[in-house]
Structures are given as C-alpha cells and as structure tokens.
Chain A
C-alpha cells in the first residue's frame, strides 16, 4: 500500500467513524456470540405511569462500531475483567482461609440469575443491598477479608463476573414489600432537579432520550448493562460512579458511591429497566 492510499484509507475510516458516532442504529438487534438474544426494547413497567412508551437499552443509542463490540466476547474489552475476576474467585483471601469458590463453587451455576434481582432486600440485615454491598458482606463476614472499595477495579470486575452468569435474563428487581420505602426515595430523587443547573434524571433521560445535548446522544439512562466498559476511560464503571458524575454535572454537591441515597436511586433506576436483559459487561462510549 502506498502512502497516498494509506492516508486516504485513514481519512475514510475517520469519516465513517464520525458518521457512526453521530448516528446510532436504533432499530438494531443484539445477539451476543450468535447465541444470547438480548432484549433491548421492552414494554414499560406499569409503575412508570406512561412516562415512557417503551424501555430501551442504552446499547441502542450507541454508534454502529460501539454496538458491534458487544456482539462478540472476543471483541468486548469488558470480558478481560471477567477473566481476572474468575482468577480472583478461586483465590483464598482473609482470616477464614476461604475463596468465593469455597462456598459458591462454579459461578456459572451458583450465580445464574443473581444479577437480575439486585438490589434486593436482605432480611437478616434488614436493609436493601446492592450486589457490591453483598460482595463486601461476603468478604468481611464469611472470608474475614478486607472490604473492597465500592467502585474499585476488584469490585467492578467481580460484579461483571457475577452479571455474566445472568446475561440475557430479564432484569426483575422487586419494588414492593420491604423495599417499597427505598424505592419511593429513589423515585423522588429521579425527579429532583439538583444543582445550579437544576436538572433531574428525568429532564434528560425521560423527557429527552434520543435527543442530542451537544455531542452526547441521550439514552434512557438504563443500568441493565452495568458494570459497563466505557471507551472513554477504558475500564469497567460502576453504576454509582455514573450517578456521581451525572449529579456532579448538574453543578450540584453530589452523593458518594455506596451512600443510602445512591442505593435507593439504583433500586429505582434498575426497576425502570425491569424486562430488559442483563447485559453486563456492556460496552458504551
């Protein structure tokens, strides 16, 4: 290939990427590894009171190139972290001489369906628990190991490993019974206009999904794909880190990952995606 051809090709690639970045294929279907059929659009749950005509995975709002990365695990950079977590799964840690595998054997069996129902009520502790909270409780109480940082690399990788076992299953978090008050708290937060820009989650993700805000193509803010591999920072990202960044960007005093407020918001936002597939680790920009 001569130099002119090479640069022309490079230019074409840049141009086609530019076009792809601007225009997402919102009619695409997602099948992973030619095997796992993902539900990327589903009827809106009744408790959304008609605010959304249907629920849509964030995958639909991304460029063709980004969409493709999630179609095959060999192309999905998030799967590297799943492999790392699988090593961690078998590693003994803490005073009790246990690994995850000591109690939970093969995650493919023991963890199937788990991601789909979190956050959920823990009756013994009397609290709503996210998957990260449950992992840390296991580490402290069962293993005698140190807690991981709520959004640390170890944590997001382990969440991804556990989530992979539920890929393709519908998100199905409970919103009633003992979690009802927490769910209501999360709902109230979703519609609260925080910060100097006075923006709620709903302003962008309910009223304006599909529209552009500067270069950002707004999605419904669904979290069925979390933890998500972002091309922007080339790592897995926890939902609470995304919440933190969103609230910060309203010029507000944000909340901490793992705070009761973000646990409530996670429960509520997860419930808005009931019926979409567990996708983690998904790929976004």
Chain B
C-alpha cells in the first residue's frame, strides 16, 4: 500500500511538471482578439528579469522602438512604436502576452516583430549571419522571457 502511495505521488509530480512545460510556439492559443489567456511557460513572470530582457540588445531590445520612462537609465530609446508608459493600465495580462508573443494577431500589419513565432517567414535567416536558417527557427524570446516581459509591463501604471 505504501509503495502504491509513493508511486501515485511520483505520478502526480510528473503530471505537475508536464503542466509547467512551456507551450510550443506552434501550439499557442490566441483568442479572436490576439490575446493569450494562460502563461506560456506555466510559471509566473519575473518583472526584474523582464526589465533586463526589454533593455538588452541581445534579448528583447524593446527600447529600440519604444520609450519607457521607467527605464530612464537605458540610453537611446526609440520612437518607432508607442511609448509603453502606462501599458499596465491600457492592456490586461492576456492582451500583453498576446502582443509580445505575436503582435500581428492583435494589430494586423504592425511593424512589431513576433517574439514567439518560429515559421512562416520570407527568406528566414540564421540569426544575424545573413545565411539561410531552417524553420522552425528558435523564437526571438523564450516562453519564460515573454512572461517576464509581461510581468514588467504590468508594473507600468500611469
């Protein structure tokens, strides 16, 4: 009986771990307005990490196009997209997750790159080498990095 209980316990743990597996980019469920209801990583986001992802050239580099007053120490913020000040008031968590993962599902034709999309590109490249890449490409951000960015964006209140 005890052995059965331990086995059950392990099975339950394994099931729990499976639930926390990231949703693959191809399997993401967007609603009709482009929002994503549940965490892509199965885990909550970390706003401090999200701040790093947004500021770093090698990661999200969101500030290349967007101004964020809360990141005043990050130089050369861009003017291509809207300012993200107050983003946490303008969009809810599911909407922000959808916009960061694939903004074209929310705003048709937007210039914003899709950060959690791996195929369907024209002449997909191997990162910045200029050489051909093979789809599915690695997404620009991981599931957890997207959750982290969403967590940071939710802190931006007017």
Contacts and interface: CB of A to CB of B under 8 A. Distances in A.
A254 B122 CA distance: 11
A247 B80 contact: no
Contacts of A211: 78-80
Interface in A186-218: 192-199, 203, 207-208, 211-215
Interface in B121-158: 121-133, 137, 140
A252 B122 contact: yes
Given A214-B78, A248-B128, A249-B128, A196 B133 contact: yes
A253 B124 contact: yes
Given A203-B111, A253-B132, A214 B123 contact: no
A51 interface: no
B111 A248 contact: no
A251 interface: yes
Could you say which of B63, B126, B128 has the most chain A C-beta atoms within 10 Å of its C-beta?
B128
Contact of A198 (B61, B76, B121, B132): B121
Contacts of A194: 121-123
Interface residues of A, number: 25
A192 B121 CA distance: 11
A244 interface: yes
Contacts of B63: 214
B23 interface: no
Contacts of A197: 113
B76 A212 contact: yes
Given A253-B132, A253-B133, A195 B123 contact: yes
B106 interface: no
Contacts of A247: 123, 130
Given A196-B140, A199-B111, A214-B64, A251 B125 contact: yes
B84 interface: no
Nearest to A254: B130
B114 interface: yes
Contacts of B79: 211-212
Contacts of A249: 128
A213 B78 contact: yes
B125 A244 contact: no
A272 B45 CA distance: 46
A22 to B, nearest CB: 9
B43 interface: no
Interface in A38-75: none
Interface string B106-125: 00000101100000011111
A208 B110 CA distance: 13
A244 B80 contact: no
A110 B92 CA distance: 67
B134 to A, nearest CB: 10
B117 to A, nearest CB: 8
Contacts of B133: 196, 251, 253
Contacts of A252: 121-125, 130
A251 B127 CA distance: 5
A212 B78 contact: yes
A229 to B, nearest CB: 23
Nearest to B75: A215
A215 B78 CA distance: 7
B80 A193 contact: no
B122 A195 contact: yes
Interface in A127-186: none
B130 A214 contact: no
Contact of B125 (A192, A207, A213, A254): A254
Rank and list the top 5 A-B pairs by shortest CB-CB distance, nearest first. Answer: A248-B130, A253-B132, A215-B76, A214-B64, A254-B130
9 contacts: A193-B122, A194-B123, A195-B121, A248-B128, A249-B128, A251-B127, A252-B121, A252-B123, A254-B125
